[in-house]
């Protein structure tokens, strides 16, 4: 069976599935999947160097905001 976000196991009821991939240098970009919806990725063109952050409502699972914080440039 297929599990949300490509995880190996299903989450218990009333829990959200998520998967965060950090990426590898400039070769593979990071991605964030939440409840089987990709929130940030190269394909969506909304990732950047440094920290990639997705703010999600913990009760409803609704995406509130995505942003990046460039730790290198200061």
| Residue 35: inside a domain | yes
pLDDT for position 29:
84
> How many independent structural domains does the chain possess?
1
| Residue 74: inside a domain | no
| Residue 11: inside a domain | yes
Find tokens 């409502």 and name the residue.
57
| Residue 17: inside a domain | yes
pTM above 0.75, yes or no: yes
Domain that holds residue 45: 4-69
Query: Which whole number is the average pLDDT over 53-70?
Result: 94
pLDDT digits (tens, 9 = 90+) for 16-52: 999 999 877 777 889 999 999 999 999 999 998 888 9
- Would you say residue 70 has pLDDT above 70? yes
Q: Cα separations (Å) of 55 from 26, 36, 62, 72?
A: 24, 16, 9, 22
Cβ neighbours of residue 48 closer than 8 Å, sequence gap 6 or more: 68, 70
Cβ neighbours of residue 5 closer than 8 Å, sequence gap 6 or more: 17, 18, 19, 33, 34, 35, 36
pLDDT for position 36:
95
């Amino acid at each position: 069976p297929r599990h949300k976000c490509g995880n190996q196991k299903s989450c218990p009821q009333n829990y959200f599935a998520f998967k965060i991939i950090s990426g590898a240098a400039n070769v593979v970009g990071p991605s964030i999947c939440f409840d089987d919806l990709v929130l940030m990725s190269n394909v969506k063109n909304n990732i950047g160097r440094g920290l990639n952050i997705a703010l999600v409502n913990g009760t409803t699972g609704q995406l509130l905001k995505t942003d990046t914080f460039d730790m290198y440039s200061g």
